[in-house]
Amino acid sequence: MEPILFFNELLGSYGLILKGILMTVKISVQAIIYGTAAGLIIGIILEYGYPPLRYLFRFYVDFIRGIPVLVQILAAYYILSVIGIQLSTLGAGILALSIFCSSHVAEITRGALQAIPKGQIEAAKSISLTFRKTVIYVLLPQALRQMLPTWVNTATEIVKASTLLSIIGVTELLMTIQQLISRTFLSLEFYFLVGFIYFLINFTIERIGKGIEAKVTIA
Amino acid sequence: MVYHFNFSAVWASFDLLLYGLGLGFILALVANTIGVGLGLILAFLSISPNRIYRLIGTSYVTFIRNTPILVIILTVYFALPQIGIGLGKIESFIVSLAVYAAAYLAEVFRAGLLSVPKGLHEAGMSVGLSRRQIKFNIILPLMFRNVLPSLSNNLISLFKDTSLAAAIAVPELTFYARKINVETFRVVETWMVASVLYVLACYLIASVLRRLEKTFALPV
């Protein structure tokens, strides 16, 4: 342990670390937004879609959930360039994380939709709402409330999974720290620091989630 | 663009992939076993009436659950030797995975312990069992049978997390897949085979565990 050396290094490189944090946040936010949008649609299809479409997405969700995120990231990174889709390392990473996120959100959406009593749909039908209106005005408001805690969990999972992008060479927070370590050899201090930063990010997300939950819950 | 599939390079090293898959499963199993022990202790800490014990239990769980597993793996493997705790690749990976699993399992066990009705505890006391006997002969067996589904989900997700061992060059499936990938450039085939292997393995583990759950489930 070299506390003085470490603080000196920290003073010199906090700009880099901040940049890394911003990158991690940027990656996570994009992946969560794309993944959630796709996941909501897939979840609705899983519950109410026509059988062929439903089976197709059932297969998609089960398949993606059976593969480790790291394999998805590596596969996206290597395969896309070979089959001629030009995406940056960052793009491939965000794509892989979004796919991962979409499968999880799809599953929790389906679960939340399933938990809504059948009477709700019957009531919507009886006042002749179209299916689209039923989804938007009746089902989603209830489902979204139901899935909020699990969704917040998924969001923190995505932040944690974003560290894996360092393996394909995206300079997010972990990669930045690793570069600092290879320069300064202060591995213990910096690894603890990065663990603590991730903890803070996720803890903040959890708190915000709890706050929203308290606001939207119908007592 | 047309891609010509050629699986021969992947088949040539298929045994390596299977070996990696087996190693991953063993790693997950060992880490899970250690994690169950540690998680149980943490769960008892976090429901204890003593405030300090409770604080230790809950802060461990909160901190580890909010830290990426890759950071834990790298810390254990690269940083701990600095303070004199040098572990081999496989040992340090098992330690990291067990530490990570313990936090998740502690939550599972805590919920499980709370779900055992209080009346059973009182019933145990009324027939004159000691606190130890109540814990080991009444509460724990019931809790374990209650939390079996969560336990098996946890094992499957640990199995998927073993892919991260590739980051510290433990030769499991992802490690070999990367190796075959860069040596033969059969990119699509390699990752397809690796993904399918993972999915099949997860499916297999899940169906065996569901069987076990059914065998041990509490009669309703």
pLDDT for B12 beyond 70: yes
**Does any CB of chain B come closer than 8 Å to the CB of residue A59?**
no
* pLDDT tens, residue by residue, B50-87: 999 999 999 999 999 999 999 999 999 998 888 888 88
Domains of chain B: 8-216 (1.10.3720.10)
pLDDT of residue A56: 95
**Inter-CA distances, A136 with A43, A101, A141, Å:** 14, 22, 7
Q: Quick one: closest CA in B to A194, which residue?
A: B71
What's the token pair of residue A137? 């005005």
A74, B187: Cβ pair inside 8 Å?
no
Question: Which pLDDT tens digit goes with each residue over A140-191?
Answer: 999 999 899 999 999 999 999 999 999 998 999 999 999 999 988 888 889 9
A81 vs A102: CA distance, rounded Å: 22
Q: Best interface-test mutation with B: which of A69, A79, A196 has the largest number of B CBs within 10 A?
A: A79
pLDDT at B6 over 90: no
A83 touching B, CB under 8 A?
yes
Measured between CB atoms, does B167 come within 8 Å of chain A?
A: yes
* B72 contacts A195? CB cut-off 8 A: yes
The structure tokens listed for A196 are 């603590």
* Cβ neighbours, 10 Å, residue A94: 25
Q: Which 3 state secondary structure label does DSSP give A38?
A: helix
Reported as a pLDDT band with limits 50, 70 and 90, residue A42 is very high
Q: State the best of A108, A152, A199, A207 to mutate against chain B, taking most chain B CBs within 10 Å.
A: A199
Terminal C-alpha separation, chain A: 52
- E-state strands within chain B: none
Residue A161 CA to residue A172 CA, distance in Å, equals 12
Give the torsion sign (CA, A169, A173, A177, A179).
positive
Sequence letter at residue A41:
I
CB B84: neighbour CB atoms within 10 A?
A: 6
CB contact under 8 A, A199 and B66: yes
CA-CA distances (angstroms) from residue A4 to A9, B84, B167? 9, 20, 30
What's the pLDDT score for residue B197? Answer: 94
Task: Find the helix packing angle between B140-161 and B187-216, rounded to 10°.
Answer: 180
ipTM computed for the complex: 0.88
Q: What average pLDDT is seen over chain A? A: 91
Cβ–Cβ of B199/A71 closer than 8 Å? no
B159, pLDDT greater than 70: yes
Exposed e or buried b for every residue in B39-61, given b needs 16+ CB within 10 A?
bbebbbbbbeeeeeeeeebbebb
With H, G, I as helix, E, B as strand and everything else as coil, classify residue A88: coil
Beta-carbon separation of B68 and A161 below 8 A:
yes
Do B163 and A70 count as a contact with CB atoms less than 8 A apart?
A: yes
Residue-level length of chain B = 220
| pTM reported for the whole predicted model | 0.89
Contact state of B163 with A71 under an 8 Å Cβ cutoff: yes
The answer to whether A194 contacts B71, with C-beta atoms less than 8 Å apart, is: yes
- The nearest CA of chain B is from the CA of A203 a distance in Å of 7
Rounded Cα gap, residues B78 and A185, in angstroms: 10
Query: C-alpha angle with apex A160: B115 to A170, nearest 5 degrees?
Result: 170
Residue A58 near chain B (CB below 8 Å): no
Q: Is B28:B162 a contact under the CB 8 Å cutoff?
A: yes
**φ, ψ dihedrals at A2, nearest 5°:** -130, 75
DSSP B172: S
